[in-house]
Amino acid sequence: MARASNLPVDPARIAEVIDGLAKLTEPGRPYTRRAFTALFPAGRDFLDGRFRAAGLETRVDAAGNLIARRPGKKPGLGTIMLGSHSDTVPDGGRYDGIAGVAAALEVAQALADKGIDLDHDLEIVDFLAEEVSIFGVSCIGSRGMAGVLPADWLSRERDGLTLEQGIRDVGGDPARIAGEARKDIAAFLELHIEQGPVLETERLDIGVVTAIAGITRIEIIVDGRADHAGTTPMGSRADALAAAARLVSGIEALAKSLSEGPGHFTATVGEFAIEPNAANVVPSRARLLIDARAEERNAMDLFAASVDQLADGIARETGTTIAPPRRISENMPTPGDPLLLGVLDAACETAGASHRRMASGAGHDTAFMAKVTRSAMIFVPCLGGRSHAPEEFAETDDIALGAAVLFNAVIQLDETLSQESV
Ligand SMILES: [Zn+2]
């Protein structure tokens, strides 16, 4: 494995940014720096200082994203953008999002160190509120930059603060978001910790992300009949929970079988409730919510059709009524841009990084950037796959190797995309 000594980037500078942000956490609550809370601007100020110290021009765009810019030699060629997010979940980690911002900044610094001037403008972005925010929604900055932030979200309110005011408080201008959707970005790349165990288990340096899985949430309501638990014979019941339990097992089996297919697939019954939930009453109703994630759309369609069939069969066998499973939310998978995936594979080779292609089961800002430009992302390993917890950990050298991959990819893209636009 290639290690820090021969990389074009400086691991110490990456660690300094990550450590600096880690110190900005709610007292006694590592690591909590949520968007739209009092601490968030402190993180932004810290980053703004580091960006400026690296000789970059900074600004906050209409959607509240902090952007640092390194002008290219050929104005009008477009922007190569790198970045991720600095907000955390409550009791989150030091690396989720932050590693990507630190690595992006390091790419800009390494270019400056080596006196490399790109043709394209290079921008480093800290997206606003990637995590589910106090307003109950996520990826606010990247949705805004892509021009797909739903206008009615701006009036969402929490503790007297509207999202609209929250964006203004970080320096954004909600009225200008729609008009400022970016059309000048030539390519977007994001480095992120994997948040899963695959790279660590396989002892690989980099995951080149083939797609961000689409997420479908399916609600199922099972109606049985409430009866006395002591007097109703076992053969005369319509037990909603017993039927729902069979559904959960069936869903797990379906998901396991689909996960053995070519693309990433997971399905989880993450919400489950029964009524009346009393010791001496046969359950009359159960509600399940499935979170299903698929890299490939046809796997999701197959899953949904199989769940319909499963529910039908179980209702018949158990004497319960199961309404047709209802898709309550759905978004499509986002494939990585093929040109960028090829450039990233080659950038791994140049950096001496072992790599594989893999899907992302988690959502990321890249999914929204893909609506306006060529986009792709890379993963670096994290300890035990842990994330969204204080135990989240990634080795500085692993992040630095990822930054070196980004560095190589940016140089290659600057050349390739320049030729393309001639
Ligand atoms: Zn993240």
- 115 CA from centroid of ligand 1 (Å): 31
**Block residue for tokens 């070519």:** 262
- 103 CA from centroid of ligand 1 (Å): 14
- 222 CA from centroid of ligand 1 (Å): 35
Report the predicted TM-score, pTM, of the whole model to 2 decimal places.
Answer: 0.93
- 181 CA from centroid of ligand 1 (Å): 22
- 69 CA from centroid of ligand 1 (Å): 22
Which DSSP letter does residue 36 get?
A: T
Preceding peptide of 150 cis, ω within 30°: no
Taking the C-alpha atoms of residue 222 and residue 43, their distance in angstroms, rounded to an integer, is 47
Taking the C-alpha atoms of residue 51 and residue 17, their distance in angstroms, rounded to an integer, is 10
- 44 CA from centroid of ligand 1 (Å): 16
- Say what the pLDDT of residue 152 is: 96
- 312 CA from centroid of ligand 1 (Å): 38
- 105 CA from centroid of ligand 1 (Å): 17
Nearest by Cα to 240 from 318, 325, 324: 318
- 194 CA from centroid of ligand 1 (Å): 9
- Cβ burial, residue 198 (10 Å; 0-12/13-18/19+): middle
- 62 CA from centroid of ligand 1 (Å): 21
Q: Are 125 and 65 in contact (CB under 8 A)?
A: yes
- 349 CA from centroid of ligand 1 (Å): 25
- 242 CA from centroid of ligand 1 (Å): 38
pLDDT of the chain, 422 residues: tens digit per residue: 445 568 999 999 999 999 999 999 999 999 999 999 999 999 999 999 999 999 999 999 999 999 999 999 998 999 999 999 999 999 999 999 999 999 999 999 999 999 999 999 999 999 999 999 999 999 999 999 999 999 999 999 999 999 999 999 999 999 999 999 999 999 999 999 999 999 999 999 999 999 999 999 999 999 999 999 999 999 999 999 999 999 999 999 999 999 999 999 999 999 999 999 999 999 999 999 999 999 999 999 999 999 999 999 999 999 999 999 999 999 999 999 999 999 999 999 999 999 999 999 999 999 999 999 999 999 999 999 999 999 999 999 999 999 999 999 999 999 999 987 65
- 380 CA from centroid of ligand 1 (Å): 12
- Say what the pLDDT of residue 5 is: 64
- 91 CA from centroid of ligand 1 (Å): 14
- 250 CA from centroid of ligand 1 (Å): 31
- 129 CA from centroid of ligand 1 (Å): 10
- 365 CA from centroid of ligand 1 (Å): 8
- 217 CA from centroid of ligand 1 (Å): 21
- 280 CA from centroid of ligand 1 (Å): 45
- 85 CA from centroid of ligand 1 (Å): 6
Residue 76 neighbours by CB under 8 Å, 6+ apart: none
Q: Are 200 and 384 in contact (CB under 8 A)?
A: yes
- Say what the pLDDT of residue 2 is: 45
- 413 CA from centroid of ligand 1 (Å): 24
- 216 CA from centroid of ligand 1 (Å): 20
- 244 CA from centroid of ligand 1 (Å): 33
Q: Are strands 265-275 and 214-223 parallel, antiparallel or unpaired?
A: unpaired
- 65 CA from centroid of ligand 1 (Å): 15
- 370 CA from centroid of ligand 1 (Å): 16
- 99 CA from centroid of ligand 1 (Å): 9
- Say what the pLDDT of residue 3 is: 55
Q: Are strands 375-380 and 185-193 parallel, antiparallel or unpaired?
A: parallel
Taking the C-alpha atoms of residue 16 and residue 54, their distance in angstroms, rounded to an integer, is 13
Q: Are 139 and 334 in contact (CB under 8 A)?
A: no
